Amino acid sequence: MKSSRVRHAGMHPASAFDVANIHFSAICDPTLHLVMQADGAFDLSAMEKAVEAAGTMAPILSSHYGEADDRGYWQCSMGEKPAFSVHDISPGIDPNHLPLVSIDPFAGPQMDVRLCRSAEAGEGRGDVLIISAHHGAMDANGLFQAAALCADAYRRVCAGKPPVFQGPSWEPRGTDAISAQFTAEELDAVYERESAFVDNWSFPCRDGPCGPLVWDSCMTGADEVTALRVAGKAAGVTLNDRIMAAWFCALVQVCGDRYAAAPRLDIFGAMDLRRYLPAPPSRSISNLSVAYGLSLSPSCCQGMRTALPAVSRAMREMKDGNFGLGSMVLYERLYAGGVGAVKAFMAGLGKECRLTGEKNPFLSNVGAIPSPAAAFQHGENGTPLQVTKAYLTSREVYPPGIGGYVSTYRGEMTVSIPSCADAHDPQKIRALAEAMRVYLIEEISLR
């Protein structure tokens, strides 16, 4: 009998994070989307060549996921490439209703690029580029790096150069370099602390199928974001503290008296474990983001004057305890039992959420979208082109529950809230987005 290593030659091992995010589909669809609004038309031929080139240079983008011997792996065969398609969008279409793909990681590829073009010409009618990826292959940071690879290749094609500028590269995937920074005792301690969070509430939703996926959003201008950073620095709070506090307050406001008597309510945030690497890679298309829990009393979330100090204190305490590493330990220990153990765990979480109707709200602040991710520069017929707006969203919606994504591009902050058209009340989603915007810019003094 051949050894497993020989049988699976050419198969690249998936990490515990990869496998966990693949089977997170038992709870919801973990496909991420980077949406970019341009001020003109992209060169379609150059974009198609660039997408194919990106898949050649970073094979994970062209791969499919598979499982054998209770382990996960990635494989890319000759001829496979990321998906690219062009979509005509009707005049006057709501930009929150653009077509978002749902990626099947088992079928692949892991990246899908959709170019949406309006039939109407004129002011504000530039193309919308949506670069999508499955969370099993990469997190938001990895998606930004994949977009930057596409943009690099696109500029080269427009300049008459070969689009491929590096050889195929399979990166090491996993968290060994992070785990090596800590003792087993330190990892055990943070795991015990972070495993205490449970689902104890949910955003209102209706029973039944999700229906079409839509998303709502609110935006905070660059000048306002700068002012918030300055005010926060003076008061000793971070912009992320303010974002999480505003999310808490907006949720409590829209839910009304539903959870007023609850002693504590938990929400989940997300963080990038690259912060624990001694030398983070410059372009890493991989999975290194995890969820963390934040617990507050609803009584302190009636406004930012009380919510922001509470969130700031809680975040400082968590940072002192190497927060986020608990989820890393969980994923690694689960996967030590094989794919079956990961799959059973995620299926159990999904079943429990559906039975109890509770799933803690989630907010991911991915920070600034790096300029290289949107640096396409050239338009159709050689005209200059700029991406004027960009933000991250997802198909990662429940019910039960709700999630939001915060991203910043050219100083402007966008909060995107995906939802199910048939299961969520659109008026409540709009109220949530509007409340989030109001709380974010609320002027308060913490002195």
CB–CB of 359/401 below 8 Å? yes
Structural domains in the chain, sorted by start: 13-440 (3.30.559.30)
Spatial strand order in the sheet of 128-134: 83-89, 111-118, 128-134, 31-38, 387-394
Q: What is the pLDDT of residue 11?
A: 86
Name the DSSP class of 216.
E
Which residues 6+ apart lie within 8 Å of 209 measured at CB? 420, 422, 423
Measured CA to CA in angstroms, residue 409 lies from 31, 111, 237, 387 at distances of 20, 21, 21, 10
Task: Quote the distance between the C-alpha of residue 248 and its chain's center.
Answer: 19
What is the C-alpha to C-alpha distance for residues 26 and 24, in angstroms, rounded to an integer?
5
Name the DSSP class of 298.
G
What is the C-alpha to C-alpha distance for residues 440 and 433, in angstroms, rounded to an integer?
11
Q: What is the pLDDT of residue 131?
A: 97
Name the DSSP class of 185.
H
In the chain, which residues have pLDDT < 50? 1-9, 445-447
Q: What is the pLDDT of residue 211?
A: 82
Q: What is the model's pTM? A: 0.93
